[in-house]
A and B are shown apart, each in its own frame.
Chain A
């Protein structure tokens, strides 16, 4: 099988992979940020005091790249104000108090056979679906590539190369039909005949289950970052995306498996995106895979899981390789949250960084063939004019280099600084 260059092998910790998805009770108060996707923030269409139902539109698209937001619960809009967002900053959010009835708006499924691709895309756009793998790129934009790009393959990404995270694997095992049909819908929209599902955890039963005459199921190696778009395409199709290009430039589109499931539910059931499956793992009493409403505060989820155990030092939204640390448990789950990982000091050793010994481990680990230690050194030593020669903008921040570094240099942090410097100083 093809593989990508570089990468590393962090421990997997996927103990939750065989724990079935469990639904978490509705939150008492849902905090729905107006920015849950890549692009411009949405504009609220409700105001304080309004009564909303589950699945009702509460924020509308603004600009070219944006997504609609729907109410995750039924109840009353308390206020629209700045609240803490997983990005660590305050972002305008709609605060909804639950009436605990969970009244839903009426969903209107349509006869799929009579729909044109652009009508299906409209449904996806109206139901506010964004990529559920983490980044949150609006799905309808991705499914409507410019005319001059010839798309020939769709890949569903079920790799989950991040340690701890198992939610996509559970969705594939439990809602196989929805995932497959969601993929078929995407293939129909794009008029392509090559559909692939890439799975990370090797499981014969799952591969058997996912068997379909139109779709190829590929079991991936355990290398990190296998689930990164560029590396996934290199592995599945053996196509290398040049720096600065997108997957559609090589005729390919990648979606997360949960996105495919959401597309299926939107089109066949008329259900907007207001809930998702996340993994709660690490030092919590009952780790597992949970179906949660968007906007549920992390503290309520952790309470439902029996609370934290031990001296937890870090709460991470997402996986431990690329996730964001939180200083408060009041942050809500957003569309792009794949998991909550609680790490104690033992699992998350804090090292002091020392001099680079030029071992070359970061260079060998970088999937984008950069020289992380050089970029890091130029940032630390203030030689910003050198940065342009080492292409820091090519970094996907996967963290392989820093994981491998024996000197424990903060490579990713320095490269992020380099990226910002490149953009602001225009070297």
Chain B
């Protein structure tokens, strides 16, 4: 009889790498089904293209480029593909996805030595490359939508709007990327992974809590901050990736804190509309320091003092905030139009002269009779206050709408100034100025529902006030 000789232990747990990968895969499936239901069958093709191209690139790179052992069956490429598809908008083209997969698999993962050796989250690298290469196709929807805009309706304490907004965000009745919209299903998937003891709660909770607290401190709506964009998907499924996050609990908490901080800073201050993706990628770099060791690539043994690391974080944040609040440091102000009457003429073409009287600007025609009114409105845009000028005729129908000053990012905010959106307002009386989802006639900018609602509400309320004042 022949027996096997081996080193102890002779029994091993049933858990394997591929089982873990496929468990995460299954935990993500419900959110994907919801995405396909919301955005149509094309998003299913996006998911399939992403998964298949990732697996294909992994196979090609392992067989022909790096000539290592082929282990596509471990499921890591499948998971990378799924996660990448989940943070892509339904407007992306299938061939573009293949380019993203190339960067995700070959450059970000296999060239570092394959599974376990990559320093960046491959799915996010793929997504970032797509964002850089095809911004117009990616602009359709973002991983991080519309978070900053605080709708006027909410500020005025209209709780009915508030609850339905939260509920829609939570269930996923909003535009967004394919897999990130249904927070409910994502959280259910994460709970399954907790139960399977595959992920720990420290990192995602630290992440979400940091965003929550910072939102409260800086006067943002914390629940809206957490439920919008890709925060839930990022916190539970991307930041918490094994290879690219610290192994010790302390390190995980600091990592989560750093991700939360960067997400918030990017969302609030930077010109990028999304925070989650870049926050996680930047924090990926801190993993060797947070672990105190990096045995895979270069040798580094520092008995890192976590508390010092946190202090450094706070100091850097302070510098960042101060710098941003110096006017000279804020760059993006669009040119101010000095010729005000030119703008007035643009929004109220029938008038030839304008006169300011009792807080309201009247437009007079050639016969010096009142032809209409000019209305200045201000509302919270994506990253700061936005000023707009509205022209209405005698019947209070809108003759023109122009954004005069904004800090908006080239992404979302500027979409709001596009003619397609603003032209919808023309000729409408103020009762009808409501988003279609709220029963009106204005179609929201995709992925910027809250901003769209803000401007719509501002226009409607402004005209309402004006009407009362005149009458």
Q: Are the C-beta atoms of B247 and A360 separated by less than 8 Å? A: yes
B293 contact from A316, A356, A374, Cβ within 8 A: A374
Residues of chain B contacted by A10 (CB below 8 angstroms)? 11, 13
How many angstroms from the CA of A404 to the CA of B20 in the assembled complex? Answer: 12
B-side residues, CB < 8 A to A, are 1-13, 15-17, 19-20, 71, 74, 76, 113-117, 242-243, 247-248, 293, 295-296, 299, 301
| Contact between chains at B248 and A363 (CB < 8 Å) | yes
- Shortest beta-carbon distance from B255 to chain A in Å: 13
Residues of A within 8 A of B1 (CB): 308, 312, 329
Contact A314 B3 (CB under 8 A): yes
Partner of B6, one of A314, A329, A360, A408: A314
The answer to whether A325 touches B242, judged by C-beta atoms less than 8 angstroms apart, is no
Which residues of chain A in 318-340 are interfacial with respect to chain B, using CB atoms and an 8 Å cutoff? 320-329
- Residue A354 contacts which of B10, B11, B71, B295 (CB distance < 8 angstroms)? B71
Say whether B8 contacts A322, CB under 8 Å.
Answer: yes
Contact flags (1/0) for A85-115 with B, using CB distance below 8 Å?
0001000000000000000000000000000
B114/A355 in contact, CB under 8 A? yes
Whether B7 and A413, one on each chain, are in contact in the complex, defined by CB atoms closer than 8 angstroms, is yes
How distant is the Cα of A327 from the Cα of B1 in the complex, in angstroms?
9
Distance between A297 CB and nearest chain B CB, rounded to angstroms: 14
Contact of B117 among A313, A355, A373 (CB under 8 A): A355
If A325-B4, A399-B8 touch, does A360 touch B248 (CB 8 Å cutoff)?
Answer: yes
Minimum distance in angstroms from B304 CB to a CB of chain A: 14
* Chain-B contact segment, one of A46-54, A137-145, A241-249, A343-351: A343-351
A412 at the interface (CB under 8 A from B): yes
Contacts A88-B5, A351-B16, A363-B248 known; list 17 others, CB within 8 Å.
A308-B1, A320-B9, A320-B11, A321-B8, A322-B8, A341-B10, A348-B10, A349-B12, A354-B74, A355-B113, A356-B296, A357-B115, A359-B242, A377-B295, A378-B295, A404-B15, A408-B12
Task: List residues of chain B with CB within 8 A of the CB of A383.
Answer: 299
Contacts of B20 in A (CB 8 A): 357, 359, 406
A422 to B248, CA, bound (A): 26
Q: Is the interface of A mostly helix, strand, loop or mixed?
A: loop
CB–CB A324/B71 < 8 A: no
Distance between A205 CB and nearest chain B CB, rounded to angstroms: 29
B296 neighbours in A (Cβ, 8 Å): 356, 358, 377
Residue with the greatest number of chain A CB neighbours at <10 A, chosen from B3, B117, B243, B296: B3
- Do residues A386 and B248 form an inter-chain contact, with CB atoms below 8 A? no
A374 CA / B5 CA spacing, docked (Å): 25
Selected from A326, A360, A399, A406, the residue in CB contact (under 8 A) with B9 is A399
Q: Are B3 and A406 in contact (CB under 8 A)?
A: no
- With most chain B CB atoms within 10 A of its CB, the pick from A314, A356, A358 is A358
Tell me the minimal C-beta distance from B245 to chain A in angstroms: 8
Chain A stretch 293-314: residues in CB contact (< 8 A) with chain B: 308, 312-314
Q: Is the CB of B8 within 8 A of A324?
A: yes
Tell yes or no: A405 within 8 A of B by CB.
yes
Indicate the member of B1, B115, B248 with the most A CB atoms within 10 Å. Answer: B1
- Which residues from chain A contact B117 at a C-beta distance below 8 Å? 355
In the bound complex, residues from chain B placing their C-beta under 8 Å from that of A323 are 8, 10
Q: List 23 A-B contacts (CB under 8 A).
A: A11-B11, A88-B5, A314-B3, A320-B9, A321-B11, A322-B8, A325-B3, A326-B5, A347-B11, A348-B4, A357-B115, A357-B116, A358-B243, A358-B247, A360-B247, A374-B295, A386-B295, A404-B13, A404-B15, A405-B13, A406-B13, A408-B12, A412-B9
| 4 tightest Cβ-Cβ pairs between the two chains A and B | A399-B9, A360-B247, A355-B116, A413-B7
CB < 8 Å neighbour of B4 from A314, A347, A358: A314
Q: How far is the CB of A333 from chain B (nearest CB, A)?
A: 17
Query: Is A163 on the interface with B (CB-CB < 8 A)?
Result: yes
Q: Is A424 an interface residue (CB 8 A)?
A: no
Which chain A residues in 28-83 approach chain B with CB under 8 Å?
Answer: none
Contact of B17 with A357 in the complex, beta carbons under 8 Å: yes
Summed over the interface, the residue pairs from A and B with CB atoms below 8 Å come to a total of 128
A152 within 8 A of B: no
* Given A321-B9, A397-B8, A358:B248 Cβ within 8 A: no
**Residue contact A316 to B116, C-beta cutoff 8 Å:** no
A223: chain B residues within 8 A (beta carbon):
none
Q: In the complex, are the beta carbons of B248 and A314 less than 8 A apart?
A: no
Could you tell me the distance between the alpha carbons of A407 and B13 in the complex, rounded to whole angstroms?
11
* Contact flag A325-B5 (CB < 8 Å), given A354-B74, A357-B243, A363-B247: yes
Separation of A341 and B1 alpha carbons in the complex (Å)? 16
A4 at the interface (CB under 8 A from B): no
Residues of A within 8 A of B11 (CB): 10-11, 163, 320-321, 343, 347-348, 403
CA distance A361 to B15 in the complex (A): 11
Instruction: Tell me whether A406 and B15 are in contact in the complex, defined as CB-CB below 8 angstroms, given that A354-B74, A374-B295, A413-B7 are known contacts.
Output: yes
Contact of A402 among B12, B15, B243, B301 (CB under 8 A): B12
The answer to whether A354 touches B115, judged by C-beta atoms less than 8 angstroms apart, is yes
In the assembled complex, the Cα of A403 lies from the Cα of B16 at a distance in Å of: 11
In whole angstroms, what is the CA distance A326 to B1 when docked? 11
**Complex CA–CA separation, A179 to B146 (angstroms):** 72
Q: Which residue of B lies closest to A355 (CB)?
A: B116
B90 to chain A, nearest CB (A): 31
Q: How far is the CA of A111 from the CA of B388 in the complex (A)?
A: 106
Chain B residues positioned under 8 Å from A405 (CB to CB): 12-13
Question: Is A325 a contact partner of B12 (Cβ separation < 8 A)?
Answer: no
* Residue in chain B with minimal CB distance to A299: B1
Tell whether A371 is near chain B: CB-to-CB under 8 Å: yes
Residues on B with beta carbons closer than 8 Å to the beta carbon of A88: 5
Asked if A266 is at the interface (CB within 8 A of a chain B CB), the reply is no
Tell me if A410 counts as interface (CB < 8 A to partner B): yes
Cross-interface CB contact of B17 among A315, A377, A406, cutoff 8 Å:
A406
Knowing A322-B8, A323-B10, A327-B5, say if A406 contacts B16 (CB, 8 Å): yes
| Residue numbers in B under 8 Å from A216 (CB-CB) | none
Instruction: Give A360 to B11 CA distance when docked, in angstroms.
Output: 19
Set of chain B residues within 8 Å of A410, measured between Cβ atoms: 7
Chain A residues positioned under 8 Å from B13 (CB to CB): 8, 10, 403-406
User: Is A240 among interface residues, defined by CB-CB distance under 8 A?
Assistant: no
In the complex, chain A residues 382-413 whose Cβ is within 8 Å of any chain B Cβ: 383, 386, 389, 397, 399, 402-408, 410, 412-413
| Interface contact B248-A403, CB-CB below 8 Å | no
- A412 CA / B115 CA spacing, docked (Å): 22
Give the chain A neighbours of B17 by CB distance below 8 A: 354, 357, 406-407
User: B residues within 8 A CB of A358?
Assistant: 116, 242-243, 247, 296
A234 within 8 A of B: no
**In whole angstroms, what is the CA distance A324 to B71 when docked?**
32
Which residues on B sit within 8 Å (CB–CB) of A377?
295-296
Q: Is A416 an interface residue (CB 8 A)?
A: yes
Residues of B within 8 A of A374 (CB): 293, 295
Q: What is the minimal beta-carbon distance from B376 to any residue of chain A, in angstroms?
A: 56
Residue from the set A88, A323, A351, A359 with the largest chain B CB neighbour count within 10 Å: A359
Is A351 touching B12 in the complex (CB atoms < 8 A)?
yes
Which residue in B10, B247, B295 is a CB contact (below 8 Å) of A343? B10
Complex Cα gap A405–B299 (Å): 23
Report A322 CB to chain B, min CB distance, Å. Answer: 5
Closest A residue to B7 by beta carbon equals: A413
B243 nearest CB neighbor, chain A only:
A358
A10, A360, A374 pick with most chain B CB within 10 angstroms = A360
